[in-house]
Structure 1
């Protein structure tokens, strides 16, 4: 087994996680930028429209045990891949929505479940295998991706101004599936032994 690679592969997984977190949570918080466009087009009340976001957060939390169960049964990579597909599907359906219940089901429920399946639960399972001595550092760096998600705000605003909110949802979906899924399939590995390595890159 190779003992001391130049860059420990666990850090490459952390980097993939940062990108995944930034894109996944960026799609969540983009709703606050799209929110005014929904109010303007549909003339719904603010409470009704804001409820979409509330349902998303509620579903995200309620889906965490499901994510944990899936990690145990099929592994974190398949769980994250399924979550990425659901997240992207929810964004596509949001771009096609016309009624409040459409958005409650698409953005509220579907993206909520999808993000939960791609987020903290499966990545925690992965990084616990890859890091022992530097586990705290690895997790703290990973969660930088959540903060990085706010960088998407200007891009979302630009897309809305130059296209519209519907196309913005569709473009987000394409970016999520086009970037996150390859990272999960080709980069993320459940255990160091899958790459012929040791925990923390040591013997």
Structure 2
């Protein structure tokens, strides 16, 4: 990912100009990638908890789905405020506190005895902590540190969550299968804590902190801290909500969340287990999704630098919807080639929607794009929360998930149409296809 650059640098206070061989922005992006990867352990666990918690506490799948739903909703609703808090207090402070809150919520679940504690610890604490970083974190870092290659970097940082899933999901599923769910919860908490020193020591809030210009851009002094973070966040929402592109982006991204985090990430493992597939095998398939998610998201970032973002979104949503219609007939006690094809296909498309969505936010909302994307991300997580809960209710009511797969496929077709009607012309430089 590192590249040479001739971007001039200067120390704060107009010191001597330096020309680094490798721009510091790439190391900041690397630290951000590792941070999101380490924090992603918590996102790998909910789908593995449904059956063990149901067996131990006799909680319904709808009740467990409620805790996951609260987690996803708070993740989304916290994101836009987190972007503003990063403007006020700095990226390092916000991310370090968020990681600590995630760790606390995960570790406290070990001693829970009632369903409300699951909602509080996993739903509220982990939801608030995760919402303070993740994609809002990636969008803020990309906006501050990069002028060129934003699409590529956005794709790489978005893929970090999938990398965390790849790293942790096989381990967590093995722990749940052989030692129970509590050691898995402890592992996610410790993983989040382990990243805190890395953030405090290596992450920097702004290029001007180290006398640099953004990668591919001109030097600018670090702006003063922005006060009134909550007020600014709401004001940006009210301004954006008066535009059609905001509602189209928010609506399509809500469907994105419903068909990924809310449905497949939360309910694929128990759905596969319903058909006789071992939990470890189903979790392994989710990990494979993570492998191809990385490739798909990075490729999507590359495409976003070169092709109209709204057309990319329409293609991604249409292909995702088609694949969901086939899933009910693919679930079986063992893994077979058609299922592997679905896993590879779905993995490539999983969060490929993020780079073009961020690009469209940047195109339409300029300097407020990180906060606007936070609100769009909120809709993503609200969509995920609704489906995480209703899919559990559907399983309790019908004894199967089939109706949820079909409904989500139809919603993806709607999202493809919404993406096509997002207006506007790209204002950023679009590289030629051969660049």
- The TM-score normalised by the length of structure 1 is 0.91
The structure where helix makes up a greater share of residues is 1
Return the match for 1:160 from 176, 184, 201: 176
Task: Give the Cα separation in 1 of the matches to 2:19 and 2:155.
Answer: 23
1:118 to 124, 133, 136: 133
User: What value does the CA root-mean-square deviation take over the aligned residues?
Assistant: 1.8
Q: 1: CA distance between counterparts of 2:95 and 2:89?
A: 10
Deviation of 1:109 after TM superposition, in Å, equals 0.8
Partner of 2:300: none
Match of 2:186 in 1: 170
Q: TM-score w.r.t. structure 2 length? A: 0.44
- Give, in angstroms, the shift of residue 44 of structure 1: 1.0
The residue that corresponds to 1:188 in the other structure is 203
Q: Distance in 2 between matches of 1:36 and 1:126?
A: 38
How far off its partner does 1:201 sit? 6.5
Give unpaired runs (5+ residues) of structure 2.
1-9, 11-16, 219-435
Q: Could you tell me how far apart the structure 2 residues matched to 1:136 and 1:190 are?
A: 20
SS of 1:21's equivalent?
helix
5+ long unaligned stretches in structure 1: none
Provide the rounded CA distance (Å) in 2 between the counterparts of 1:107 and 1:123.
23
Higher alpha-carbon Rg: 2
CA distance in 1, matches of 2:158, 2:138: 10
Contact 1:95 1:168 in 2 (8 A): no
| Counterpart Cα distance in 2 of 1:4 and 1:113 | 40
Cα distance in 2 between the residues matched to 1:98 and 1:163: 18
Tell me, in whole angstroms, the C-alpha distance in 2 between the residues paired with 1:120 and 1:144.
10
The Cα offsets for residues 68-113 of structure 1, whole Å up to 9 and x where unpaired, read as 3322321221111111111111101122211110010100010011
Q: Which residue of 2 aligns with 1:29?
A: 44
Deviations 1:36-77 (A, max 9, x none): 211111111111111111111111111123313322321221
Partner of 2:3: none
C-alpha distance in structure 2 between counterparts of 1:36 and 1:7, whole Å: 48
Q: Distance in 1 between matches of 2:61 and 2:134?
A: 28
CA distance in 2: counterparts of 1:112 and 1:176, whole angstroms: 14
Q: Distance in 1 between matches of 2:51 and 2:65?
A: 10
In the alignment, what sits opposite 1:91?
A: 106
Greater relative contact order: 1 or 2 (C-alpha under 8 angstroms, separation 6 or more)? 1
Q: 1:112/1:84 Cα in 2 relative to 1: closer, same or farther (>3 Å)?
A: same
For the structure 1 residues 3 and 123, does the alpha-carbon distance in structure 2 shift closer, same or farther, using more than 3 Å as the test? farther
